[in-house]
Amino acid sequence: MYSIRELFRRCLGGACPLCDWPAPAGDLCSRCERPVRCDQSLNRTSGGLAVIAATAYARPGDQLMRALKEGGQLNHAGLYARLLWYAMRATQPPLPSLAALVPIPADLRAAQRRGFNPACEIAVELSRLSRLPVKRLWLARTRSAESQKSLDRAARKKSVCGLYTSDKPLPEVWIGLVDDVTTSGSTLDAAAHALSQAGARGVIGLVGAKTPTRVGT
């Protein structure tokens, strides 16, 4: 069931953000959506965390994430949320019943530079569709960390060790852990570990885009 806001959006005409062809307001056209979606919506990190990704972080879809993160085009957060919501409902077997959405906390310097947290923007839009509450305070960041772009898998895992904490006991519920992009899954694993240690029954990763796995990695 769609909210009045979502029904109104779907009735509006618009242009695909990738090719400018006609599409519902803020959405991709059918021609662009097919290559942008992940081939496998359900993945697992090296730590065993189940992850649903809306899109593949590769051409041409990577343009959308860069426009959100570096260009401040916050309307793309709604696009990722809609694609995620579709993938969540289509996953087989069905996902456990989630009780809340928790966005990955942004690095302070990145948040100050952008003026927003992309993961939180996606979580808020996803909350509007799923009616799940966003619990920002359930997860905190303990420090700044170096950029992971140039790090290999082992270095990424080491860089996020102890990076997240959940200080207060959490209810024994399933949580949707929201992030913008995942590559190795080390960030999601570290955050999920903190939530589980605080009492969460289980965690599902929900990401806007996933970097395709390279052969041999």
Q: Predicted confidence band at 173 (pLDDT cuts at 50, 70, 90)?
A: very high
Residues whose CB falls within 8 Å of the CB of residue 94, separated by 6 or more in sequence, listed in order:
none
Nearest Cα residue to 214 out of 154, 152, 147, 148: 152
For 41-93, give the secondary structure using H, E and C: CEEECCCCCEEEEEEECCCCCHHHHHHHHCCCCCHHHHHHHHHHHHHHHHCCC
Pairwise pLDDT comparison (217 vs 34), residue with the higher score:
34
For 128, counting Cβ atoms within 10 Å of its Cβ (0-12 exposed, 13-18 middle, 19+ buried), the class is middle
**Domains of the chain: which residue ranges?**
1-36, 37-210
pLDDT of residue 98: 98
Residue 114 is encoded by which pair of tokens?
A: 């952008």
State pTM to two decimals.
Answer: 0.89
Taking 50 as the threshold, does the pLDDT of residue 217 lie above it? no
Residue 50 is encoded by which pair of tokens?
A: 């189940």
Instruction: List pLDDT tens digits, range 107-125.
Output: 999 999 999 999 999 999 9
Taking 80 as the threshold, does the pLDDT of residue 145 lie above it? no
**CB neighbours of residue 8 within 10 Å:** 11
CA distance linking residue 26 with residue 13, whole number of Å: 9
Residue 137 DSSP label? G
Q: What number is the average pLDDT over the span 187-196?
A: 97
pLDDT of residue 158: 75
* Residues forming beta bridges with residue 133, ordered by sequence position: none
Q: Which residues of 90-102 are buried (b: 16+ CB within 10 A; e: fewer)?
A: eeeeebeebbbbb
Taking 80 as the threshold, does the pLDDT of residue 216 lie above it? no
Instruction: List the Cα angle 98/28/126 in 5-degree steps.
Output: 20
Taking 90 as the threshold, does the pLDDT of residue 103 lie above it? yes
Task: Give residue for tokens 């051409």.
Answer: 59
Taking 70 as the threshold, does the pLDDT of residue 146 lie above it? no
For 143, counting Cβ atoms within 10 Å of its Cβ (0-12 exposed, 13-18 middle, 19+ buried), the class is exposed
Q: What number is the average pLDDT over the span 68-84?
A: 95
For 82-134, give the secondary structure using H, E and C: HHHHHHHHHCCCCCCCEEEEEECCCCHHHHHHHCCCHHHHHHHHHHHHHCCCE
Q: Return the CATH number of the domain spanning residue range 37-210.
A: 3.40.50
Q: What number is the average pLDDT over the span 171-188?
A: 96
pLDDT averaged over the chain? 89
Q: What number is the average pLDDT over the span 198-208?
A: 98
